[in-house]
Amino acid sequence: MPRQQQFEFLPLPSPALLADTGFDAIILFNQPMSEKHQISNSLERCVALLKKGDASSLKQLRCLLEKTQAELAQEVGVSQEALEAWEAGEQQPSGIQLARWKIKLASYIDEKIAAVLSTQNSEVSSSFWSLIWELVD
């Protein structure tokens, strides 16, 4: 007899809240429930830090995403020393630099979302982003 695969549901917000966001898909994960909660909490924390957007939060987000200053600085197009100074609050990035910083961190979160959803479908990722953005304070 073939082995049946068991899926568990990720705890989702109320149907009314989901309706308000326009997100009508139910996401299934094939991980143990404790791992699902951990993933959910991690994504929630990442989005909350990105939304907050101050230097300290962006540093915490970089660390949570397990990215080095050197790695992120190269992607943003600045020196590691500049990024270090921003994170320490010793210098302020220009508006464009801050936007690049946030966009790059968001792209790392997007990679996490794609991995969790097991899809590269941009519509699904976009819907998930919209949902999580609305739910996180």
Residue 126: CATH number of its domain: 1.10.260.40
| Residue 114 pLDDT > 60 | yes
The pLDDT value given to residue 25:
41
Domain count, the chain: 1
List, for residues 3-37, the tens digit of each pLDDT value.
444 434 444 444 444 444 444 344 444 455 566 66
Instruction: Provide the whole-model pTM.
Output: 0.70
Domain membership of residue 2 (yes or no) is no
Q: Does residue 1 belong to any structural domain of this protein?
A: no
Dist CA 118 CA 120 (whole Å)? 7
| Domain-located, residue 46 | yes
Query: Per the structure block, which two tokens stand in for 108?
Result: 């790392």
Residue 46 has pLDDT above 50, yes or no: yes
For 50-91, the pLDDT digits (tens) are: 999 999 999 999 999 999 999 999 999 999 999 999 999 999
Classify residue 3: in a domain, yes or no: no
**How many Å apart are CA 35 and CA 54, to the nearest integer?**
29
Residue 21 resides in a domain: yes
| 111/36: higher pLDDT | 111
pLDDT at 23: 42
Domain of 38 in residue numbering reads as 8-135
Helices (DSSP H) in the chain: which residue ranges?
15-21, 33-52, 55-64, 69-76, 80-88, 95-117, 122-135
Whether 93 is in a domain gets the answer yes
Inside any domain, residue 42: yes
